[in-house]
């Protein structure tokens, strides 16, 4: 079956929209299973000069529909006008479209050998490009990879303990490619295979959840949701102005910890939503008092300032742990900073973004995946944006962390889809490592997540309060923790091999399209 150009354009646009609509706040997740297939349909048999257009259209539609909150954040906190912020979101769409154009080009070239070859290549190429998207220098942004659309199924989610999130992306892309193959060849065997694959996925997705184990945690942490309004700047007397609210938060923290004196007690405050620094004597005194009066370990997000060997002042977005005596025993400095939020990549060349870059803090990235320890075991802390990078978070478990703690300030996003999308991706980090995850935020979503991805406790959004969050320590290592992104690298290698045959003149395949048609006809 061959499609005319207008139909291909429509399929490409629909594929980008379908994938975007699979994620919160739309939550039309079944569309994801057909989104890649629609792009394969648009690409197979297209001319070499036009094939990149279809992937570009996919990406150009996907980003504005899926992450429109980026425009809002830049206008509200970056002091940009409507047209400038829309233009930056448009540049993101262009960059994503260019990456996707490689997908449609590769599928189109492979289809010159056979439809079957193109559909075989598609899932490997899709995952390879997601892997590239994750690791692009400075601008890597693996937000809402296709696989996240499958995590509504608790059973399918467990695949990530072996492959990471890329295994679910492969599953979605493979199903879409199979569907495209059935449409293009229109044979009884192909459609029977689609029906069987659909039945198997439904059986696993709907029935498999009953086979996922449940855990009984031994400990309870106290996650405090501070619920401070987001602000671009803080006056020098901010702590004095908000002294009453800080007193309230101290009371909430201490009271919660004293309810269960059997311990060990752990109090967690989120990524710094205000000018919290242990270099500030007033805040340091508050933090020490909370730890001592509660007889608890106190993990809090702060801004750290330190001098380097050249006596230059460096600033870090950090998490610090105080012991029950108020002594500082652990520090983690955020390693993966937010580009254009916590630092400006290539600032010397981005003079056109002067207003944006002028207001952005120049944080220094940390370098060590440090672990903290409390009675019961060791933990690793990751901060906000770091949650979307699977290969980085697994390093904590690989280094010996038996518990994961994610502190975040999602107040920047308002009540857009971003906070729940962020939570969705954090859940997968827990399953990949098979660890309990304590997630504490400024204004939501604050939750406890078990090693299988269940939300076992959650606070309402936009309230100040405390969550009794169950947790435990686990030491087993999943295949993903042991071997990292082995599956993604396998897809990269498979893509290179398959593209070699697609591009090599005269290369033949074991089963040509003509033979396949005769065999299935």
Catalytic positions = 271, 334, 384
Region of 393 on the Ramachandran plot (φ > 0 left; ψ -120 to 50 alpha; else beta): alpha
Concatenating the DSSP letter of every residue in 388-416 gives G-HHHHHHHHHTT-SEEEEEE-GGGGTTS
- The DSSP call for residue 148 is G
The three-class DSSP label of residue 191 is: helix
**Helix (H/G/I), strand (E/B), else coil: 374:** strand
3-state secondary structure at position 205 = helix
Closest listed residue to residue 176, CA positions, set 57, 32, 275: 32
Q: Strand 447-449 relative to strand 437-441: parallel, antiparallel, unpaired?
A: antiparallel
Q: Is the distance from CB of 124 to CB of 498 less than 8 angstroms?
A: yes
- Cα gap 318→301, rounded to integer Å: 6
Instruction: Say how far apart CA 510 and CA 518 lie, in whole Å.
Output: 14
Structure tokens at 198: 């659909």
Sheet strands (E) in 308-463: 313-322, 328-333, 371-374, 377-383, 403-408, 437-441, 447-449, 455-458
Distances (CA, A) of 84 to 42, 64, 90, 139, 417: 32, 14, 10, 19, 22
First-to-last C-alpha distance (Å) of the chain: 15
Q: Are 212 and 158 in contact (CB under 8 A)?
A: yes
Contacts with 272 (C-beta within 8 Å, 6 or more apart), sequence order: 301, 302, 303, 317, 409
Nearest Cα to Cα of residue 168 among 181, 155, 182, 184? 155
Whole-angstrom distance, CA of residue 105 vs CA of residue 49: 9
């Amino acid at each position: 079956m061959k499609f005319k150009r207008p139909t291909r354009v429509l399929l490409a646009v629909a594929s980008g929209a379908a994938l975007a609509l699979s994620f919160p706040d739309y939550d039309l997740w079944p569309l994801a299973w057909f989104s890649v297939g629609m792009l394969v349909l648009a690409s197979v048999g297209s001319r070499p000069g036009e094939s990149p257009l279809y992937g570009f259209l996919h990406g150009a539609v996907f980003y504005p529909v899926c992450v429109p909150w980026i425009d809002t954040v830049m206008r509200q906190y970056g002091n940009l006008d409507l047209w400038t912020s829309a233009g930056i979101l448009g540049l993101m769409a262009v960059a994503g479209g260019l990456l996707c154009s490689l997908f449609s080009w590769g599928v189109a070239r492979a289809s010159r050998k056979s439809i079957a070859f193109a559909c075989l290549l598609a899932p490997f190429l899709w995952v390879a490009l997601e892997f590239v998207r994750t690791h692009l220098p400075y601008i890597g942004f693996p937000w809402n990879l296709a696989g996240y659309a499958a995590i509504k199924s608790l059973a399918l989610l467990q695949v990530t303990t072996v492959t990471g999130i890329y295994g679910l992306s492969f599953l979605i892309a493979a199903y879409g490619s199979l569907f495209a193959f059935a449409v293009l060849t229109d044979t009884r065997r192909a459609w029977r295979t689609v029906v069987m694959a659909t039945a198997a996925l439904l059986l696993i997705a709907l029935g498999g959840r009953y086979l996922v184990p449940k855990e009984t945690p031994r400990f309870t942490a106290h996650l405090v949701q501070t619920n401070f309004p987001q602000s671009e700047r803080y006056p020098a007397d901010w702590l004095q102005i908000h002294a009453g609210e800080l007193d309230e938060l101290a009371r909430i923290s201490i009271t919660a910890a004293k309810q269960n004196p059997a311990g060990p007690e752990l109090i967690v405050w989120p990524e710094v939503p205000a000018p919290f620094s242990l270099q500030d004597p007033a805040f340091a005194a508050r933090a020490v008092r909370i730890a001592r009066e509660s007889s608890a370990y106190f993990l809090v997000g702060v801004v750290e300032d330190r001098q380097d060997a050249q006596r230059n002042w460096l600033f870090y977005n950090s998490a610090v742990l105080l012991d029950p005596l108020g002594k500082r025993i652990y520090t983690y400095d955020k390693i993966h900073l937010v580009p254009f939020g916590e630092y400006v990549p290539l600032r010397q060349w981005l003079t056109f973004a002067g207003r944006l870059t002028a207001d952005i803090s120049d944080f220094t990235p940390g370098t060590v995946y440090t672990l903290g320890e409390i009675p019961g075991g060791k933990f690793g802390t990751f901060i906000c944006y770091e949650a979307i990078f699977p290969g980085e978070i697994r390093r904590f478990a690989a280094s010996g962390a038996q518990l994961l703690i994610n502190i975040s300030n999602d107040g920047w996003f308002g009540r857009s889809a971003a906070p729940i999308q962020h939570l969705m991706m954090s859940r997968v980090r827990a399953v990949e490592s098979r660890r309990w995850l304590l997630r504490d935020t400024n204004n939501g979503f604050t939750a406890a997540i078990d090693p299988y991805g269940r939300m076992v406790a959650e606070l309402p959004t936009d309230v100040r309060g405390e969550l009794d969050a169950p947790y435990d320590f686990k030491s087993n290592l999943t295949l993903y923790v042991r071997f990292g992104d082995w599956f993604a690298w396998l897809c990269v290698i498979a893509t290179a091999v398959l593209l070699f045959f697609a591009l090599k003149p005269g290369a033949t395949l074991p089963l040509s399209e003509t033979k396949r048609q005769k065999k299935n006809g």
